[in-house]
Structure 1
Amino acid sequence: MLKIAGTAAGAAAIGAAVPTTSASAAGTAFAHPGLLHTRADLDRMAAKVKAGATPYTAGFAKLTANRHSQTGWRPNPQTAVYRGAGSPQNYAILYNDIHAAYQNALRGHVTGENGHLDTAVAILNAWSAKLTSVEGSADRFLAAGLYGYQFANAAELVRDHDDFDLPRFQKMMLDVFSPLSEDFLKNHNGAVVSNYWTNWDLTAMCCVLAIGILCDDKAKVDTAVEYFKHGEGLGAIKNAIPVVHPDGFAEWVEAGRDQGHALLGIGLMGTFCEMAWSQGINLYGYDDNRFLKAAQYVAKWNLGEDVPFTPNTRDKGAINGWSGTETVSEEAPVDPAMTRPVWAMIANHFTKRRGLSASYLTRIAAKSAPEGGGGDYGPNSGGYDQLGFGTLAFTRDRSTRPESPASPSASPSPASNSGSGAAPAAPSPSSSPQGGRDGDLAATGTSDLPAWTAATGLTAVAGGLLLLRRRARANRDAQ
Structure 2
Amino acid sequence: MHVTRQISRRAVLKATGVAAGAASVATAATPSVAAGGAFAHPGLLHTGADLARMAAKVKAGASPYTAGYAKLTANRHSQSDWTPNPQAIVYRGVELRPRSTWKQNYWTLYNDIHAAYQNALRYHVSGDSAHADTAVAILNAWSAKLTKVDGSADRFLAAGIYGYQAANAAELVRDHKDFQLERFQKMLVDVFYSVSEDFLVRHNNGTPAPHYWPNWDLCNMACALATGIFCDDQTKVERAVEYFKHGAGMGSIKHAIPVVHDDGLAEWMEAGRDQGHSLMGVGLMGTFCEMAWNQGIDLYGYDDNRFLKGAQYVAKWSLGGNVPYTPYAQLDQRPGIQHPTAVAQASPTQVRPVWAMVANHYTKRRGLSATYLTQIAAKAAPEGGGGDYGPNSGGFDQLGFGTLAFTRDKATDTKATPRPAVSASPAVGGGLAATGSGEIVGWTAAAGVTAVAGGLLFLRRRDRGRHGAS
- TM-score band by shorter chain is 0.7 to 0.9
301, 323, 338: which is aligned to 2:350? 338
Q: Is the 8 A contact 2:156 2:220 kept in 1?
A: yes
Structure 2, unmatched stretches of 5+, are 1-14, 23-28, 96-101, 423-470
Deviation at 1:14, TM superposition (A): 7.1
> What CA distance in whole angstroms lies between the structure 1 residues aligned with 2:105 and 2:192?
16
Deviation at 1:248, TM superposition (A): 1.4
Asked if 1:21 corresponds to 2:28, the answer is no
2:465 maps to which residue? none
Give the alignment of 1:412-427 within 5 angstroms.
none
1:358 maps to which residue? 370
Q: Which moved more, 1:58-67 or 1:27-36?
A: 27-36
2:58 maps to which residue? 49
2:67 maps to which residue? 58
Give deviations 1:85-122, integer Å, cap 9, x for gaps: 02400000000000000000000000111110010000
334, 342, 367: which is aligned to 1:315? 334
Q: 1:131 to 1:309 in 2, by over 3 A?
A: same
Asked if 1:210 corresponds to 2:226, the answer is yes
Deviation at 1:328, TM superposition (A): 1.8
Deviation at 1:335, TM superposition (A): 1.1
1:109 maps to which residue? 124
Deviation at 1:29, TM superposition (A): 3.4
SS at match of 1:280: coil
Asked if 1:270 corresponds to 2:280, the answer is no
> What CA distance in whole angstroms lies between the structure 2 residues aligned with 1:138 and 1:76?
24
1:445 maps to which residue? none
1:123 maps to which residue? 138
2:180 maps to which residue? 165
2:243 maps to which residue? 227
Q: 1:137 to 1:306 in 2, by over 3 A?
A: same
Deviation at 1:253, TM superposition (A): 0.6
Q: Which amino acid aligns with 1:390?
A: G
SS at match of 2:155: helix
Asked if 1:88 corresponds to 2:103, the answer is yes
Q: Is the 8 A contact 1:45 1:393 kept in 2?
A: yes
1:239 maps to which residue? 255
> What CA distance in whole angstroms lies between the structure 2 residues aligned with 1:15 and 1:377?
47
Q: 1:358 to 1:144 in 2, by over 3 A?
A: same
Q: Is the 8 A contact 1:28 1:216 kept in 2?
A: no
Give the alignment of 1:444-463 within 5 angstroms.
none
Q: 1:24 to 1:217 in 2, by over 3 A?
A: farther
> What CA distance in whole angstroms lies between the structure 2 residues aligned with 1:229 and 1:54?
37
> What CA distance in whole angstroms lies between the structure 2 residues aligned with 1:212 and 1:167?
14
7, 16, 41: which is aligned to 1:32? 41
Structure with more contact order per residue of length (Cα contacts < 8 Å, sep ≥ 6):
2
> What CA distance in whole angstroms lies between the structure 2 residues aligned with 1:411 and 1:112?
36
Deviation at 1:403, TM superposition (A): 5.1
Q: Which amino acid aligns with 1:46?
A: A
Give deviations 1:268-327, integer Å, cap 9, x for gaps: 00000000000000000000000000000000000001001101134367xxxxxxx532
Which of these two proteins has the greater Rg computed from alpha carbons? Answer: 1
TM-score when normalising by structure 1? 0.78
Matched-pair identity in %: 71
> What CA distance in whole angstroms lies between the structure 2 residues aligned with 1:283 and 1:257?
25
Q: Is the 8 A contact 2:88 2:148 kept in 1?
A: yes
289, 302, 319: which is aligned to 1:303? 319
SS at match of 2:91: strand
Give the alignment of 1:136-155 within 5 angstroms.
136-155=151-170
Figure out how many residues of one structure are paired with residues of the other and give that number. 389
SS at match of 1:184: helix
SS at match of 1:356: coil
Give deviations 1:126-146, integer Å, cap 9, x for gaps: 000000000000000000000
Q: 1:239 to 1:365 in 2, by over 3 A?
A: same
Q: Is the 8 A contact 2:319 2:376 kept in 1?
A: yes
Give deviations 1:332-376, integer Å, cap 9, x for gaps: 001110010000000000000100000100000000000000000
Q: 1:175 to 1:293 in 2, by over 3 A?
A: same
> What CA distance in whole angstroms lies between the structure 2 residues aligned with 1:28 and 1:226?
18
Deviation at 1:329, TM superposition (A): 1.0
1:441 maps to which residue? none
List, as ranges, runs of 4+ consecutive aligned residues in structure 1 with deviation greater than 6 Å. 13-17, 410-413
Q: Which amino acid aligns with 2:308?
A: L
Give deviations 1:22-71, integer Å, cap 9, x for gaps: 4798x983100000000000000000000000000000000000000000
Q: Which amino acid aligns with 2:309?
A: K
SS at match of 1:135: strand
SS at match of 2:334: strand
Deviation at 1:21, TM superposition (A): 3.1
SS at match of 2:149: strand
Structure 1, unmatched stretches of 5+, are 1-12, 318-324, 414-479
Q: Which amino acid aligns with 1:346?
A: V
1:192 maps to which residue? 208
SS at match of 1:327: coil
2:448 maps to which residue? none
SS at match of 2:210: coil
